[in-house]
Structure 1
Amino acid sequence: MTKPLFAIYGAYGHTGRLVAAELLAREAELLLVGRDADALDAMSGELGAGERVRTRTAPVDDPAALRDVLTAADVLIQCAGPFAVTGAPLATAAAEAGCHYIDHALEPHHVKAVFDTVQATAQRTGAVMIPSLSFYGGLGDLLAGAVADGIPGIDRIVVAYAVNGWRLTTGAKNTATLLFAATERLTYSDGALHAGYVEPRNAVFPFPPPLGPRTMIAPFPSSEVVTVPRHVPVRNIDLMLSTSTFEAEDAFESENIDARERSATDFTVAVQAIREGDSVAGQLTGHDLWRAAALASVEAAVRIAEGRGPAKTGVLAPGEAFAAEPFLRALERRGAFTLTLPDKESEHA
């Protein structure tokens, strides 16, 4: 039986390298794809996996080349941001080629566009497409699904990220610059998605001990506003990010630090599901958000390639494609984070 072929776009970036290493650790065969042939060849040699790693050049502005490459692959993991620039061409090419697709986007406009523009094509070609299966966006979506499981008619979901020691790559820096400069934000309230200007504010989120209450940026422009309502019955969604995330002096000046330094992040992602004045909460805590993101996308890609993916094709939210708690538990077993979920029977006894 032929082994599945995993394509990685943006493989010579930090996230792409982590994705490649994790796939190789699972005995996978890789196709490294990008616009820079020399960088791809250097990356292939660095991985040291011989014939298990191949390379192909395909710029994002060459649709025919992208379709040709992705026709030969089983699953694409898209790691090259900012996705406001790279997202549409690769998602379109994957859908047209019938190649399963996972990306690391957090940009809500890109995620909405994938649902809006390639759903019919992906369903026709049999592709499973899961945008935003990463740290930001993806883990919040899955945690919301796990916390809210079995609770009807939720008034509000709050997703709060507390991150310390985050050092932005060039792609992440460009993404953050675009996101926070955008004047048209996507928000979810009164059971509907809205687009328009929203005045940023500071809020306080009560993280459990030992972290405790933290000052937060709200709303945080992440993709859960698009994905969570697809699988959670909720009327309002609030997204928050700790203000301390960007307070480190070198947060935006860290493109050239080494992988060990970049891994030195601590994070907590917490979710509250509020219904009729009562709330249920869960959280995940860990170190190295980049590795957690890579593990999440690889876990999904391997499941899909092995026939353990969702029963339906097309564009899906992370928590729509996979049962949220079992998927998170699988990542916990691989060391991505520690997961704490509520005892639903006790909460509602």
Structure 2
Amino acid sequence: MTSNSADINTTPKAVAVLGANGHTGRFVIAELLQRGLKPIAIGRNIRRLAEAGFAERGVECREAAVEDDAALDRALAGAAAVINCAGPFMDTADAVVRAALRAGVHYLDVTAEQPSVQTTLDRHEAAAGKAGVAIIPAMGFYGGLADLLVATVMDEWDDADSIEIFVALDSWLPTKGTRVTGEKNTARRLAINGGQLEPVRQPPAERVSILPEPFGQQTFVELSFSEVPLIARRTQTKELHSFLGTTALRDVRDPSTPPPQPVDDTGRSAQRFAVDVIVSRGEVRRRIVAQGQDIYAVTAPIICEAVQRILSGDIRDTGAKPPAAIFNAASFLRALAPHLSVEVAEM
């Protein structure tokens, strides 16, 4: 039978997932399948990929290590985009971005590491623009979500006097990958003070804020993640500070805290989260709050929504850029409604 354009257009587009057998990678594979996309599971050990049960769901498995350019090139063959879930990203992102550029495919990752975001954006903007592909670091719970929230609540504002981000978790049961990254990521955290991107001042500032239920009054410590370099890249503000709740900080710093445990058939943990963003300009303050379940699981619909929009052409630009420079932020957040509740309120 002769194929026609309709046959071609209905063929699922392949999306490579590096680190597919990791905790977040498995959520991403499941989300891609649910969206009708064709995941390619990539890992450095084909046996571990087999043990993850991908083949039983019709997912092709390919072996590649980030240190092996030729293997990466083979692993990305036929893909339209690659999602990098293999941290620490200071060790993996650059090699995978370069492989994506060689293949002419889009690249996204889920890093919470500020140096990784800065390196990716600084080093690959020219090449990504020339290739006409999107290179988006930190397209997950840490980083991309806050960037989209800030862009949505700022709306028509071109600049702000201050942006404050409060991340509350009722617990943080860290994965093995989170622990490894935390041990290796010794770079000083960044904030914007007086219009300048610089290390967070010591000792870190503390804040008390009241969030919607089930959180209520929470104590926070300034501890920024990948949202700061993303927002700083595209937004003019005199102050930008990001805070983590002390409950989560205590959990993640305790070596005896266990990894997350599934409580439903999707594999999500019982963890609840809230991200509260307050933007000020003159005497006007605006607030937006996002809430949901399981920071690792919710990363999958966030990054898969991004991939689906890129592959459908629903984007503003290409190049190495923050999410809010690529997507319509408000529309993007609305599309996440099954996974994320978002409320905007003028203060």
Match of 2:46 among 37, 46, 53: 37
How far does residue 300 in structure 1 lie from its aligned partner after superposition?
A: 0.5
**Length-normalised TM-score, structure 2:** 0.89
Change (3 A) 1:257 1:156: closer
Kept in 1, the 8 Å contact 2:136–2:323? The answer is yes
**Which residue in 1 is equivalent to 2:56?**
48
Output the CA distance in 2 between the equivalents of 1:259 and 1:229: 35
**Which residue in 1 is equivalent to 2:189?**
185
How far does residue 71 in structure 1 lie from its aligned partner after superposition?
A: 4.0
Match of 1:326 among 322, 331, 334: 331
* Total equivalences in the alignment: 334
Matches within 5 A, 1:241-260: 241-248=244-251, 252-253=255-256, 258-260=261-263
Identical pairs, percent? 33
**Which residue in 1 is equivalent to 2:120?**
114
How far does residue 311 in structure 1 lie from its aligned partner after superposition?
A: 3.5
For 1:223-259, what per-residue CA distance to the aligned partner results, in whole angstroms no more than 9, with x for missing partners? Answer: 2221113443322210100011033499644566543
Output the CA distance in 2 between the equivalents of 1:197 and 1:157: 14
For 1:157-202, what per-residue CA distance to the aligned partner results, in whole angstroms no more than 9, with x for missing partners? Answer: 00110012221111111222334x43x33322333323x4742424
**Which residue in 1 is equivalent to 2:232?**
229
Change (3 A) 1:250 1:262: farther
Match of 2:83 among 68, 77, 85: 77
Which residue identity does 1:36 align to in structure 2? Answer: N
**Length-normalised TM-score, structure 1:** 0.89
Match of 1:4 among 5, 10, 13: 13
Q: 5+ unaligned residues in a row in structure 1: which ranges?
A: none
Matches within 5 A, 1:1-349: 1=8, 2-43=11-52, 45-46=53-54, 48-50=56-58, 53-179=59-185, 181-182=186-187, 184-194=188-198, 196=199, 198-210=201-213, 211-218=215-222, 220-248=223-251, 252-253=255-256, 258-260=261-263, 263-308=269-314, 310-332=315-337, 335-342=338-345
Which residue identity does 1:33 align to in structure 2? Answer: I
Change (3 A) 1:167 1:214: same
SS in 2 for 1:259: coil
User: Considering only aligned residues, what root-mean-square deviation do their CA atoms show, in Å?
Assistant: 2.2
How far does residue 65 in structure 1 lie from its aligned partner after superposition?
A: 1.9
Kept in 2, the 8 Å contact 1:166–1:251? The answer is no
How far does residue 262 in structure 1 lie from its aligned partner after superposition?
A: 5.8
Change (3 A) 1:252 1:78: farther
Q: 5+ unaligned residues in a row in structure 2: which ranges?
A: 1-7
